[in-house]
């Protein structure tokens, strides 16, 4: 090999990148310590950008096109290298090709349910998932903020972070939107646009944009979905009676499909449900002579009779072997006031165990306690 071939072999005069993958975002052009020839050709294809890094500093960024690497095409590199106008020597620089096309069919979803306050169901939880597309909007910022010195950076390396940002903003937007759960399906397109606009500021800091974000499904926990299905079934049934008939028919159908599972119990249950269903249906259906007469109303409970009148006690008086009476309590009170009946006077009334002194009968003893004391002596 001649000296000319040796010298020309050390210099790179054609720089380009053909991507045969579907997930590579950044690829570093490997020069293997070879210097780049002054005036070399740089080919940047559509959907690409080329970024020059010189001694760790960001230099020129090239958009799609064919370039001759000269001082007039590399203003930042010329300034960093302090090249004169007539400089034509080879130079060293790191070259990164950035894929600026859209990366599609990327998945996102909520790992855990999101808590929100629904106007109709109250506090509830939802899950959501969908797809999005991403592209590099600022190659220089993306290279400095995310890629660094990685020679081959793929979408998988940043998709997890993007998903976290989407889920965070989705949780915040959906909790503050106040949209009922039953109406979210009709607003998924607007929600997707709203979330994409909300996360655009954060994604711009990475040099990435999300041209599209789709919400494919918003689901409720199984318990809430089961309650919602029951509510829908009741609405279809029309009223509670029809829903009961519907439930009985469903139970009978299930028992018929599994005749050996419940044995006689299943048959008895089905028969009982059938009788109850028949009675319910017959009660609401009209026969050939018109509607079945309604059951006679139960007679209203009569008021209890008033208590019997209290029989007033009367007393007999025994004095000097002579019995007088009967006297009422009022008459006994007058006699006690006049002195005719004293504490030791023997009295008797029906149900009393023999003759007793008036002072020993509780009802008559009261008569003596209310008597005024004797008048004072003057």
> How big is the chain by its Cα radius of gyration, in Å?
52
Three-state DSSP at 368 gives helix
Q: Which residue has the higher pLDDT, 300 or 191?
A: 191
Distance between CA atoms of residues 177 and 189, nearest Å: 14
Q: Is 318 exposed, middle or buried (0-12, 13-18, 19+ CB in 10 A)?
A: middle
Give the span between the Cα atoms of 187 and 58, in whole angstroms: 44
Cα–Cα distances in Å, from 369 out to 331, 334, 373? Answer: 16, 14, 10
Domains defined along the chain, listed by start = 3-99 (no CATH), 103-223 (3.30.479.30), 314-369 (3.30.1490.40)
Residue 108: partners with Cβ closer than 8 Å, 6 or more residues away: 129, 130, 131, 132, 162, 163, 166, 167
Higher pLDDT, 361 or 65: 65
**How far is it, in rounded angstroms, from Cα 197 to Cα 202?**
10
Please check whether residue 17 is in contact with residue 29, taking contact to mean a CB–CB distance below 8 angstroms.
yes
Q: Each residue of 150-167: pLDDT tens digit?
A: 889 999 999 999 999 999
Q: Considering the chain, what is the average pLDDT of its residues? A: 76
- Residues 307-347 have pLDDT tens digits of 666 667 777 888 777 788 788 877 877 887 777 888 788 88
Q: What is the pLDDT of residues 47-93, one digit of tens each?
A: 999 998 877 788 888 999 998 877 556 655 556 555 555 555 566 77
C-alpha distances out from residue 120 to 117, 168, 178, Å: 9, 24, 11
CB atoms within 10 A of CB 2: 7
| C-alpha distance across the termini of the chain, in Å | 167
pLDDT of residue 300: 56
Q: How many residues are present in the chain?
A: 378
* Residues 196, 211: Cα–Cα separation, whole Å: 8
The upper half-sphere exposure of residue 238, i.e. CA atoms within 13 Å in the direction of its Cβ, equals: 4
The conformation of residue 170, written as its DSSP 8-state character, comes to H
Residue 295 neighbours by CB under 8 Å, 6+ apart: none
What confidence tens digit (pLDDT) does each residue in 240-256 have? 666 677 778 778 877 77
CB contact burial 190-208 (16+ within 10 A = b; e otherwise): ebbebbbebbeeebeebbb
Residue 302's pLDDT is what?
66
């Amino acid at each position: 090999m001649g000296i000319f071939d040796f010298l020309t072999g050390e210099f790179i005069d054609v720089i380009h990148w053909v991507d045969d993958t579907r997930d590579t975002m950044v690829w570093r052009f490997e020069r293997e310590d070879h210097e780049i020839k002054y005036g070399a050709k740089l080919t940047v294809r559509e959907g690409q950008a080329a970024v020059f890094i010189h001694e760790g500093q960001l230099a020129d960024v090239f958009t799609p096109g064919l370039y001759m690497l000269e001082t007039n095409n590399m203003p930042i590199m010329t300034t960093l290298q302090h090249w004169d106008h007539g400089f034509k020597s080879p130079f060293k620089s790191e070259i990164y090709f950035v894929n600026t096309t859209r990366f599609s069919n990327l998945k996102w979803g909520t790992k855990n349910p999101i808590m929100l306050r629904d106007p109709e169901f109250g506090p509830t939880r939802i899950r959501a998932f969908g797809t999005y597309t991403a592209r590099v909007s600022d190659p220089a910022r993306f290279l400095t903020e995310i890629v660094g010195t990685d020679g081959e950076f793929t979408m998988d390396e940043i998709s997890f972070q993007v998903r976290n940002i989407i889920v965070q903003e989705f949780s915040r937007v959906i909790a503050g939107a106040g949209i009922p759960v039953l109406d979210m399906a009709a607003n998924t397109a607007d929600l997707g646009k709203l979330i994409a606009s909300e996360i655009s500021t954060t994604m711009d800091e990475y040099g990435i944009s999300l041209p599209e974000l789709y919400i494919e499904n918003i689901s409720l926990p199984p318990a809430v979905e089961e309650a919602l299905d029951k509510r829908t079934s009741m609405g279809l049934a029309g009223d509670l009676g029809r829903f009961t008939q519907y439930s009985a028919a469903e139970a009978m159908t299930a028992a018929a499909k599994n005749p050996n599972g419940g044995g006689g119990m299943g048959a008895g249950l089905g028969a009982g449900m059938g009788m109850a269903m028949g009675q319910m249906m017959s009660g609401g259906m009209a026969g050939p002579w018109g509607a079945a007469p309604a059951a006679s109303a139960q007679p209203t409970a009569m008021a209890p009779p008033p208590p019997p009148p209290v029989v007033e006690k009367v007393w007999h008086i025994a004095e000097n072997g002579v019995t007088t009476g009967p006297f009422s309590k009022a008459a006994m009170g007058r006699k006690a006031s006049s002195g005719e009946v004293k504490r030791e006077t023997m009295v008797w009334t029906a149900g009393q165990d023999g003759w007793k002194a008036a002072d020993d009968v509780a009802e008559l003893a009261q008569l003596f306690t209310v008597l005024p004391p004797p008048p004072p002596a003057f």
